[in-house]
Structure 1
Amino acid sequence: MGKDYTRRFQTEILKKHFMIALISIVIMLLFYFFVDNFYNGAVINFIQDVFGWDFASFILRNQTAFVFITILVVLLLNSLIVEVYSIQKISHVFSQMKILFQKDDQRIVLDESLQELEDDFNELKRESIENEKKAIKEAQHKVDMIAYLAHDIKTPLASVIGYLCLLEETEDLPEELRHKYTHMTLEKAYRLEKLINEFFDIAKLNQSYSPLHKEEVSLSYLLEQMKEEFYPIMSQKQQEIVIQVPEDMIIYADSQKIARVFNNILKNAFYYGDEKTTITIEATEDNVYTHILFRNIGQTIPKDKLNVIFEQFYRLDTARSSSTGGSGLGLSIAKLIVEQHQGIIKAKSYDHVTTFEVFIPHTKAL
């Protein structure tokens, strides 16, 4: 239910109507009785001198009707006065609304009867300014990231070209050197692939805002498919994935987007998990959510990083020096998609165990 911002204002207007009408009627009645009892003859003589005998005679014959008409006129004036008052108040609201679009600290000030509206306007202005600053910051981060990646791609690409030229141009290259150059070329190619994937991550960030296409998805089947896809990279560190999810568990989600969420979490678990460890995936249900846990063993994530782990580009400053550093978009994309499903995602880490928790609501609506 929406807020009734004008309830106090309406009450104030009604009170003014009532008070002005009451005072006007009382004054008119007092004036009528006073004139009727004490100065009736003098008043009639005055009216006769000013307006003539016909008008004075009319008033004498229709005193009650004249008083009634006078009261109606007073009530009409009362309405006009209160309407002017109301229009002034509303005009003040519109004049203050200009401040809503100003990017400064000036507060909107309304009448006391519109205090709740004033508070919400000021809160809306504050959020608007913060969101704009955040958008500018994210846009700048995106530009910086693209610039960094474009610069970094040149290095492995130049190395790949250089080693391949050596392999092609040197016919009598010793087998040991040939093997060494081939290995170094492969390493640089992997690095180049990773940087290109980071470009795709930036593109996926905008794709994540597209509408959802929710359907019934077998959670167990989806995770088993992803387990098979991750087998080649998991084998590099002798890691394995263990899925503890009931086969009949169904979630209502956009299958492609929710798969991207799980993919980004599993990538994070692979990069930051220790060698020869197990990544465990569990799922339970309650009355509202399907609760999915991704648990890996590795270095404990500090609390200060847990607070920003889902922010875009939060690894920007360390991405170029870290062997596992990415674009810093994977988990922010995951958070965006989960929230688009009206769900929740959070992380906790202690005693070398990091757990990502994803809550997907049972509802089909969105």
Structure 2
Amino acid sequence: MIRMLLACLAALLVAAPAHADRVKDLGGFQGIRSNQLTGYGVVVGLPGTGDDNLEYTVQSLKAVASRFGLQLPPNMNPGMKNAAVVMVTAELPPFAKPGQRLDITVASMGKAKSLRGGSLILTPLLGADGQIYAMAQGNLAVGGLGAEGADGSKIVVNVPSTGRIPEGATVERAVATGFDTAPTLTFNLARADLTTAQNVASAINQRLGGGVAQAIDAVSVAVRAPAGAQVRTALMSEIENLDVNSAEPSAKVIVNARTGTVVINSAVRVGPAAVTHGKLTVRIDENQRISQPAPFSQGQTAVEQRSGVAIDEEKKPMFLINPGPKLADVVKAVNAIGASPADLVAILEALKEAGSLKAELIVL
């Protein structure tokens, strides 16, 4: 019985693909994406923290009043401390239908100190094509806080000039994705890789039959599918849940020069090289000595300058990096000399110039 269980476990381990990922985790189908919406609006009801008579705020309020048939006198300049002009942004998810609700972000454009307590007046949200896709309105939820004293002292917590309205917009128009009428379905990888694209096409062909999928380039895989939204929806769902062996990423060393962070992926290899690393410190001490002549002599009191120059060099032995070590060997060798993150960057750059570092060195 035990032998049978061990045999079954061994078979499962052999059959399990190495580094298998779902297709849906590697990218998405062309046309099925979110769209950004933007609108220009006015927030009212602020407790004296608004734009304070900015010209475009006055024009915006006059435009709002004109919607209701109210014409303000041209020379009238109403107080603006309780209003602020804002930009409204939202993200329209794929397949969003009219009537669905969206979360929106509201940010001040003028001199408003805080949007806390304000209400957004009905604002159209436009897409990149200039068409209205949603309408926004509601009371703002502001996480920031600001306070100011009579002497000009003030304190600000977080950002009170930006707020959110959960479900503050209503979708008015759906975006046509075109996936149901396109000649083929196109799956795009999030990261370009020729091997991974070929593996995705092979996995689809094994499941749906040969010749159904074809890798076009390092990003796109074209899939032949019958027309119709229902048929293609079921087909895409089946493809997204396929397991694919992702290709090993190219060797890269990422260095953040501002924080000293160094990230090395598992594909990095180092050729044979000898490395030594040490620190040279030059110290100069300046001392002054008063020279006093003997009594009844012709000498004068003088200041004598004395300088001490010393050089300290930290002694560290040279170590040898064997050819073809993996990530753990590289880290172990660098830690052996006690290198700091800044020193590690210098060593990696030197190895790259010497041709021993088999990786792309990226400095952020």
Length-normalised TM-score, structure 1: 0.21
Length-normalised TM-score, structure 2: 0.21
Structure with higher Rg: it is 1
Structure with higher RCO (Cα < 8 A, 6+ apart):
2
- Which structure has more helix as a fraction of its residues? 1
